[in-house]
Amino acid sequence: MTERKKIAVLISGRGSNMASLISACMDPAYPAEITLVISNRPGAAGLERAAEFGIETATVDHTEFPRDREAFERVLNEKLKQHGIEFVALAGFMRLLSPWFVTQWRERLINIHPALLPSFKGLHTHERALEEGVKLHGATVHFVSAEMDDGPIIIQGAVPVLDGDTPDTLGARVLAVEHQIYPKALELVASGQAKVKDQRVAIAGEDADLADRALIVP
């Protein structure tokens, strides 16, 4: 087997997506391993969860860098380099990253967003989906560009919006899909199958089919 790619996961909170990536990496055939988890919030629940799996954790508290986003990111970047990180996965990391950081990690930085992008960028996606009366909602894993919740799409997962849904019930349905598509997307990226070409993701490989880029949950 070729060497597994070293992944850092950046979190701000509970880290359920991080945990789904950690679980996927337990398969020795999976092309990636998570060797570092960094939170920008001290005490984020996900840090403890990562430590229970024996993964090294660190905190880079953004509040220690008021008015200087790049100083925060330089520290972050230094930690990633020290650990020989090859790809970075944002998993509920609630800080905007500057063009400088995004450029450092171009095509090696991915994010999960709880909506079918480009719809519902930003916060409160489930509330807004219900307000708009959409019939399908979901989640997107994408390469990160300098714009918020933007960049070439790797995989999307769609779920129905049901009568009587609340932001919580809809959010739980979307989260279940997030936990399925994020490990799949990281696998495609770490194995080199998913590549950016002309601002789109092309998926190489004999078994590349719709299931590699779209998950539809009935």
d(CA 93, CA 103): 18
Shortest Cβ 141–ligand GAR spacing (Å): 9
Q: Yes or no: say if 167 and 127 are a contact pair by the CB < 8 Å rule.
A: yes
Task: Please identify, using beta-carbon distances, which residue of 15 and 31 lies nearer to ligand GAR.
Answer: 15
Instruction: Single out the residue of 50, 91, 170, 181 in contact with ligand GAR (rule: CB under 6 A).
Output: 91
Asked if 145 interacts with ligand GAR (CB under 6 A), we say no
Task: Please identify, using beta-carbon distances, which residue of 32 and 89 lies nearer to ligand GAR.
Answer: 89
Count of residues interacting with ligand GAR (CB under 6 A): 15
d(CA 117, CA 137): 10
Phi and psi based region of residue 201 (left: phi greater than 0; alpha: psi -120 to 50; beta: remaining)? beta
Q: Yes or no: say if 186 and 89 are a contact pair by the CB < 8 Å rule.
A: yes
d(CA 113, CA 97): 15
Instruction: Single out the residue of 9, 10, 15, 189 in contact with ligand GAR (rule: CB under 6 A).
Output: 15
Strands in the chain per DSSP E: 5-11, 32-39, 56-59, 87-90, 109-113, 136-143, 153-160, 194-197, 200-203, 214-216
Shortest Cβ 11–ligand GAR spacing (Å): 6
Element (H, E) at 103: helix 99-104
Asked if 16 interacts with ligand GAR (CB under 6 A), we say yes
Asked if 14 interacts with ligand GAR (CB under 6 A), we say yes
Binding mask 107-126 for ligand GAR (x = CB under 6 A): -----xxx------------
Task: Please identify, using beta-carbon distances, which residue of 99 and 192 lies nearer to ligand GAR.
Answer: 99
Instruction: Single out the residue of 75, 175, 203, 216 in contact with ligand GAR (rule: CB under 6 A).
Output: 175
Bond preceding residue 118 cis, omega within 30 of 0? yes
Shortest Cβ 44–ligand GAR spacing (Å): 8
Scan residues 31-70 and list those touching ligand GAR (CB under 6 A). 46
d(CA 63, CA 71): 11
113 labelled catalytic? yes
Shortest Cβ 2–ligand GAR spacing (Å): 28
User: Which residues are part of the catalytic machinery?
Assistant: 113
Residues near ligand GAR (CB under 6 A): 11, 13-17, 46, 91-92, 112-114, 149, 175, 178
